[in-house]
A = this chain, B = another copy of it.
Amino acid sequence: MNKQQLFENIKRKQSFLCVGLDTDTKKIPQHLLKEEDPVFAFNKAIIDATADYCVAYKPNMAFYEALGTTGMRSFEKTIHYLRTQYPDQFIIADAKRGDIGNTSELYARSFFDYLKVDAVTVAPYMGEDSVKPFLLYPESWVILLALTSNKGSNDFQLTEDAHGEKLFEKVLRTSKEWADSDRMMYVVGATQAKMLRDIRKIVPDHFLLVPGIGAQGGSLAEVAQYGMNDHCGLLVNSSRAIIYADKSEKFADFAADAAHNVQREMAGYLQDVGIIPCSI
């Protein structure tokens, strides 16, 4: 999916919500455990319930890898289900990979050629040749970690160099030369929303993938206020607050309500800046 198609989907659905499929067998409704593949059964129900309200899904690989080959089969079935039933959804493998060139090539082959996702999250520490192999596939996207939503983001990402530039700012400024905003996005945590204003000075046109609203405490209003650009430029992720909104047999209905509530709030922010017309 290219940038213009993503923007069209955002306008059409009046939403820039990404639903995080962080599916943990310890947290899903217990009646699903009698299914042959509980993880896929949960994902399928969540997807069917929320697809009208979001433009992207982001399974985090850790949750699938933790279950070994069984988990990877659930992951593959989930991607296949999305690809065939909801082809307008942007699929992000949240993998935070990054290795020397010949190894990153293999990760890229795995994600884009074999699993056929749209985007992979990549860690910047190893530099350009660890990132570029992910850009070799048609319409493949890299979503590079810049400023993350966790406490440990303070340890290194905010370190200032001799010119007062923070490491995450250097990551943005350096890496935007590796690919333009049609192929690269950045992870910027919602818990650092006020820094989005400065981030927009460095990367005005790029999409930002924003985790950290909901369970992690970030504010959607602030993210929209400081981070939105004229083609929206935001994918805001919510995982736990949507997929674990309820643990009963009606979990999917509650997930739909939670996603719908976020979508309605997002529609308001899109109206505020004139990206979609105001409803009367």
Residue ranges of A at the interface with B (Cβ–Cβ < 8 Å) = 22, 24, 60, 62-63, 65-69, 72-73, 76, 94, 96-101, 103-104, 106-107, 109-110, 114-115, 123-131, 145, 148-157, 159-162, 164, 167, 170-171, 174, 211, 216
Contacts and interface: CB of A to CB of B under 8 A. Distances in A.
B123 A62 contact: no
B96 A66 contact: no
The 7 residue pairs across chains A and B that have the minimum distance between CB atoms = A127-B152, A127-B155, A62-B106, A129-B152, A66-B106, A66-B110, A100-B150
Contacts of A126: 96, 123, 145, 148, 150, 152-153, 157
A114 B275 CA distance: 48
Given A65-B106, A68-B110, A100-B216, 19 more contacts: A24-B106, A62-B99, A62-B103, A62-B107, A66-B106, A66-B109, A66-B114, A68-B76, A69-B73, A96-B126, A123-B123, A125-B145, A125-B156, A126-B145, A126-B153, A126-B157, A127-B154, A128-B152, A160-B162
A130 to B, nearest CB: 5
B151 A128 contact: yes
Contacts of A156: 124-125, 127, 167, 170-171, 174
19 contacts: A62-B104, A66-B106, A66-B110, A67-B114, A68-B72, A68-B110, A96-B98, A96-B123, A100-B148, A100-B149, A124-B156, A125-B125, A125-B148, A126-B145, A128-B151, A128-B155, A129-B150, A129-B152, A155-B174
B159 A167 contact: yes
Contacts of A124: 125, 155-156
A9 B62 CA distance: 33
Contacts of A152: 126-131
A19 to B, nearest CB: 16
A60 B101 CA distance: 13
A88 B68 CA distance: 24
A66 B171 CA distance: 27
A160 B157 contact: no
Contacts of A127: 150-157
A60 B102 CA distance: 11
A16 to B, nearest CB: 21
Nearest to A131: B152
Contact of A161 (B130, B131, B162): B162
A69 B76 contact: yes
Contacts of A174: 155-156
Nearest to A165: B159
A161 to B, nearest CB: 5
A256 to B, nearest CB: 24
